[in-house]
Amino acid sequence: MHKKRADIEEDLARSLAGYRGEQALHYDFQFLKQNHYSVLEDLRLENENGDFFQIDCLLLSPSYLLILEAKNMSGSILFDQHTRHIIHNKNGLERSYSDPLLQVQRQRIQLEKWLKQQKFPFVPVITQVVISNSDTRYDATSNHHFVYQNVTSRLNLPNRTAEFESAHTDEVLSAKLIKQIAKSLIKRSTPYNPDLMHWYELKLSDLILGVFCPNADCPSVRDPMFKVNSGWRCPFCLAFSRDAHLTALKDYVLLVGDEISNSHFRDFARMESVFTASRLLKQLSLPSSGAKKNRKYKLSLPKS
Ligand SMILES: [Zn+2]
Give per-residue pLDDT as tens, 116-125. 999 999 999 9
Distance (angstroms) between ligand 1 centre and the Cα of 254 equals 23
**Phi-psi group of 165: left, alpha or beta (phi > 0 → left; psi -120 to 50 → alpha; rest → beta):** alpha
Distance (angstroms) between ligand 1 centre and the Cα of 283 equals 24
pLDDT at residue 107, as a whole number: 96
What does the mean pLDDT of the chain come to?
92
Compute φ and ψ for 199, nearest 5 degrees: -60, -45
When pLDDT is cut at 50, 70 and 90, the band that residue 304 belongs to is very low
CA atoms within 13 A on the CB side of 199: 12
In percent, the amount of the chain with pLDDT more than 70 equals 99
| 13-42 confidence digits (pLDDT tens) | 888 888 887 888 888 899 999 889 999 998
- pLDDT average, residue stretch 269-289: 93
pLDDT at residue 244, as a whole number: 94
Q: What does the alpha-carbon distance between residue 217 and residue 214 come to, in Å, rounded to a whole number?
A: 9
Q: Among 301, 43, 52, which Cα is nearest to 186's?
A: 43
Q: Mean pLDDT lowest for which of 67-71, 168-172, 219-223?
A: 219-223
Q: Is the pLDDT of residue 196 over 90?
A: no
Distance (angstroms) between ligand 1 centre and the Cα of 227 equals 13
pLDDT at residue 20, as a whole number: 83
Q: What is the pTM of this model?
A: 0.79
Q: Is the pLDDT of residue 205 over 90?
A: no
Distance (angstroms) between ligand 1 centre and the Cα of 280 equals 21
Q: What does the alpha-carbon distance between residue 296 and residue 291 come to, in Å, rounded to a whole number?
A: 8
Distance (angstroms) between ligand 1 centre and the Cα of 240 equals 8
Domains along the chain with CATH numbers: 5-188 (3.40.1350), 196-298 (1.10.10)
Distance (angstroms) between ligand 1 centre and the Cα of 269 equals 16
Distance (angstroms) between ligand 1 centre and the Cα of 250 equals 19
